[in-house]
Structure 1
C-alpha cells in the first residue's frame, strides 16, 4: 500500500529522477530526464514529491554515498517486485534510507510513522509545510516570522511547522528571493542542496534548481554567511552586490560583482538577459512559460541573447530570439490533453 501508487512509473525512470534530485546524474543525461519528466503530468508529480522529500531528508543527513544510494534503490525495487512481503521501518531506517520514498507517497504517511516511532519531544521537528510553484507560475509567501519569500517557477519551499524565532530554517529546491525580517540573536537559515545561507535581516536571491551545476546566491542588501553542510572549513561572508556560485561537483566557490536587478527582476514579472548563453536562456524560458524546448543543433548553444521579457507571449519571444540570434524557432502545438506547446530551435 505504501509504495504501490508510485509504481506504474518505470523503475529505470524513477532511478533517474532520484539521481537528478540528489545531484548524481551526469550532465549529459539531465536534459533527457527533464524532458521525460515534463512529458506527463504524473511524472511531474513524482518529481515534485521527490524534490520535497530530498530537501527535508538532506537537511538532517549527510549526502548519500554510492553504497547507500544503491541500497536505497534495491530496497525499493524489492518492495515493488514483491520479494518482501512486509516492510518494518525503524526511525533510523526512515531517516537514512526510506524518507524520500515514504514522503513522496504521502505526507500523512510519514507523519504517522514519525508519531508511531519517534519520541514526543522530536515529533514536531519532523513536520514540514511545503509550498510548491509549478512551471509557468510564481508566488509570494509570508512566513510565520513576517519574512517575505518570492518563489519562481518550478520551485519547492519547505519549512518546519514549529518555525519560530528560535527555529528559522528553510529548505529550498528551485529559485527564491528572500526579504528576511531581522530578529536579534535569531539567524535565518536557507539550505539549498548542501549550501547553507545564514542571515539576520537582508534581501537576497538563491538559485538552486536540481538541474543546475551550481547553487547561486546574489546579495542585494545586508550580509549573509555561506557554509557547507559537509565541509566544516567552508565559509564566506558576502557583501551587497556580490554573486556567489557554488559548484556542487567541485565544492568550489566563485565570487563576482553583478547588477543585482538582473537576478531578482523575475519576482516583479520580468526576465532580464544580458549576454546570456543560449543554454541558460532555454532552461529559464522552459520554466517561465511551462513549455518544451528542443534544441536540434548543438551549435545553437554558441549563441548569446540580450533582452527583457515582461508581458510578451512565448510566440513573440521566440520570434525575437530567432531574429536576434539568427536561428529557426518552430512552434509545434500539441492539442492532446495536458500536452504543452513545443519549440524546436535549429540553425538557419
Structure 2
C-alpha cells in the first residue's frame, strides 16, 4: 500500500493503480497500515506558514465525482464507489490541512489537476482569475496559488485560455513546447501522437520548442509545430473554427477524414476504425452541434462515398468504402 499511497499523494497514479489504491484503503482490515502511512507523511512533510484556501480543491473533488461516467439509472454499487473515491481524494487534503494549521513550516506549492474524460469538457478559473475551457480527454496541472512572479500550467490534450492580465507572465507547458503570454485568448492542442497546434484569437503569444526554436503569433494566426524537425509554421485562419468547441460545437472545414475521426472519437467517446486507408484523404465540411454520432455518420454517408457499422454496446464504429455496384 505504501507505494500506491506515495504515488497518489504525488499525483503519479495510473488509472489501474488508482483503482487498486481505492480498493486497498477501503478494504476492511487495512486501517492500521493506512494510519501508519498517513503518520509517516505527517512527520516527514514540511509545512506551510498558514492554512491555504481549500475551496478550489473542494471544487475539484466535486468535479471529479460528477465527471465519472456512470450508467443510468445509478446503482447503489456505483454510489458506494463514488463515496469511496471521494474519501480517497479527501485523504491528502485532510492531512495537508491539519499539517498546515498546526505546524507552521514552509512546503513546496500544492498542485491541482483537472481532467476531463472522453465525451465531456469543463470550464473553470485558475487562481489568478484566468478562465480555462478543457476539452475531452485532456488534463491541466496548476498550483493552488501562483507565486514567484510567474504563472505556469501544464497541459496534456486541448484547452482554450482567456488569460487575466496582472503583469506576471503566463506559460502553458506541454511535453513538446511552451506558450508564453501576458494577457490574451488562445487555443492549445497538444494531444499525444498528434501534431501540436496553437491558435491565437487576441493578444500576442510566443512559442518555444524544446530545441529552442521560437516564433510569435498575432491575432488570427495559427502555428503548427513539427516536433521532428523542431520547426514552427504559421498561417492565417478563422479562429472561430478552432474555438467553437467551447460553445459545444464542432466545425469541420474541408478537413481530411483522418483528422475528423480523431476529433469524433474524443467528442463521442467511440472507437472508430476506417476499413480502407485510402478513405483517410476524403475531405469533410460540416457544422456539428447537438447531433448524435449516428446522425453524423448518416450525414457522412450522404456527402462522402462511405457507409458505416456501429456497435453501440462496444462503442465501436467502422467506416467502409461505399460500393459502386447499384445492386448493393
Alignment match of 2:108 (pick from 124, 127, 143): 124
Higher RCO structure (Cα 8 Å, ≥6 apart): 1
1:167-204, CA deviations, whole angstroms, 9 ceiling, x for partnerless residues? 311100010000000112x0111012231111111110
How far 1:166 moved relative to its partner? 2.3
Runs of at least 5 residues in structure 2 that lack an aligned partner in the other structure: 6-12, 20-87, 100-104, 323-328
- Aligned counterpart, 2:258: 279
- Scaled by the length of structure 2, what TM-score is found? 0.67
Alignment match of 2:289 (pick from 310, 316, 321): 310
- Contact 1:277 / 1:302 at 8 angstroms: preserved in 2? yes
- Aligned counterpart, 1:323: 302
1:69-126, CA deviations, whole angstroms, 9 ceiling, x for partnerless residues? xxxxxxxxxxxxxxxxxxxxxxxxxxxxxxxxxxxxx9978xx9xx9xxxx75x424x
- Aligned counterpart, 2:183: 201
Alignment match of 1:182 (pick from 165, 171, 174): 165
- Aligned counterpart, 1:345: 319
Alignment match of 2:173 (pick from 169, 191, 202): 191
- Aligned counterpart, 2:217: 238
- Aligned counterpart, 2:124: 141
Distance 2:255 2:308 in 1: 18
The alignment status of 1:288 with 2:267, answered yes or no, reads yes
How far 1:142 moved relative to its partner? 0.7
Q: Secondary structure at the match of 1:299?
A: helix
Distance 2:281 2:150 in 1: 46
- Aligned counterpart, 1:257: 236
Alignment match of 2:202 (pick from 208, 221, 226): 221
Task: State which structure, 1 or 2, has the greater radius of gyration over its C-alpha atoms.
Answer: 2
Distance 2:258 2:18 in 1: 23
Paired positions, count: 242
Q: Secondary structure at the match of 1:124?
A: coil
CA 1:174–1:227: 2 relative to 1, 3 Å: same
- Contact 2:214 / 2:232 at 8 angstroms: preserved in 1? no
How far 1:135 moved relative to its partner? 0.4
- Contact 1:131 / 1:157 at 8 angstroms: preserved in 2? yes
- Scaled by the length of structure 1, what TM-score is found? 0.63
Q: Please give the root-mean-square deviation of Cα atoms over the aligned residues, in Å.
A: 3.1
- Aligned counterpart, 2:142: 159
Normalized per residue, the structure richer in helix is: 1
**What is the 5 A alignment of 1:2-13?**
2=2
Q: Secondary structure at the match of 1:286?
A: helix
Q: Secondary structure at the match of 1:240?
A: coil
CA 1:140–1:48: 2 relative to 1, 3 Å: farther
- Contact 1:138 / 1:152 at 8 angstroms: preserved in 2? yes
- Contact 1:180 / 1:201 at 8 angstroms: preserved in 2? yes
The alignment status of 1:332 with 2:311, answered yes or no, reads yes
- Contact 2:158 / 2:187 at 8 angstroms: preserved in 1? yes
- Contact 2:213 / 2:232 at 8 angstroms: preserved in 1? no
How far 1:48 moved relative to its partner? 10
How far 1:147 moved relative to its partner? 0.6
1:217-257, CA deviations, whole angstroms, 9 ceiling, x for partnerless residues? 000000011123x33x4221111111011112221111111
- Contact 1:241 / 1:259 at 8 angstroms: preserved in 2? yes
Runs of at least 5 residues in structure 1 that lack an aligned partner in the other structure: 6-41, 50-105, 335-339
How far 1:4 moved relative to its partner? 7.2
Distance 1:165 1:270 in 2: 38
Distance 1:221 1:290 in 2: 31
CA 1:280–1:48: 2 relative to 1, 3 Å: farther
- Contact 1:192 / 1:215 at 8 angstroms: preserved in 2? no
How far 1:300 moved relative to its partner? 1.5
